[in-house]
Amino acid sequence: MTDDGAAEVRRAARAAGVPVVERAYVEPMGGTSMNLLGLAPLAALLMLLVLLGAPPTRLASTWAWFWLTWGNPLAVVFLLLEPVPLWRTGSVPAARWKLTGGWAFMISLVLTPMLRAAFPGLVA
């Protein structure tokens, strides 16, 4: 093993009375690991395909749902509420007001950083 000057730095630190903590280097183990957050781009693409092929939405336009779900875990909200809430049977009357894509884009600009700060491991 080559000395990169670490021994000289340790000697100087000890001579100056500075405590020196040495830790042994542990070689990382090889292998493959699975990160579920790596599936987020695939989930976003599937969400886009569902949006394009889904029946007309009630609560928000297709572009609104696109912006609300892109990079956010709000796809679950879409799947629960559109086109008919899962807990309702039969038809549901159309909403009086529908969120548009522009407003949803603005909401996502604010909501995405907030969700990433609140749930750093969940939102990619």
> pLDDT, tens digit, for every residue of 25-37?
777 777 666 655 5
Burial letters 84-102, b for 16+ CB under 10 A, else e: eeeeeeeeeeeeeeebebe
Q: Higher model confidence: residue 123 or residue 112?
A: 112
3-state DSSP call for residue 15?
helix
pLDDT digits (tens, 9 = 90+) for 90-104: 666 667 888 898 998
Confidence at residue 1, expressed as pLDDT on a 0 to 100 scale: 45
Mean pLDDT of the chain: 75
pTM: 0.52
